[in-house]
Copies of this chain bind each other. A is one copy, B any other.
């Protein structure tokens, strides 16, 4: 999947707003779009980028397509950031490149 796509998806304010809107419940493409001052086509473009990044699930029902948040991808990003930051609390290392092995 790749972090490139995921971070790029998160880099746009419209797309972050969409994700926030989906925090507690799924919403249809139209309902999502009604919160923005842009065409449905543009909203669809943003939804597609989020979907390709793995950040959204979609369910088709009747005439609608409902989107919801894929929190597992959110967690993957958090893990990447946690590794970047380094392990501040425990002192344990989790696969980053601390110099422990080169010490002696």
Q: What mask results when residues 19 to 45 of chain A are scored 1 for a CB within 8 Å of chain B, else 0?
A: 110011000000000000000000000
Whether A84 contacts B20 by the Cβ 8 Å rule is yes
- Name the prevailing secondary structure of the A interface residues: helix
The answer for the CA separation of A13 and B16 in the assembled complex, in Å, is 20
- Counting contact residues on chain A (CB < 8 A from B), the size range is 20 to 34
A42-69 CB mask vs B (1 if < 8 Å, else 0) is 0000000000000000000000000001
Q: A80 CB to closest chain B CB, in angstroms? A: 8
A23 to chain B, nearest CB (A): 6
* Complex Cα gap A20–B71 (Å): 24
Interface contact B84-A81, CB-CB below 8 Å? no
Which of B4, B10, B99 is close to A13, meaning CB atoms less than 8 Å apart? Answer: B4
User: Are the CB atoms of B7 and A98 closer together than 8 Å?
Assistant: no
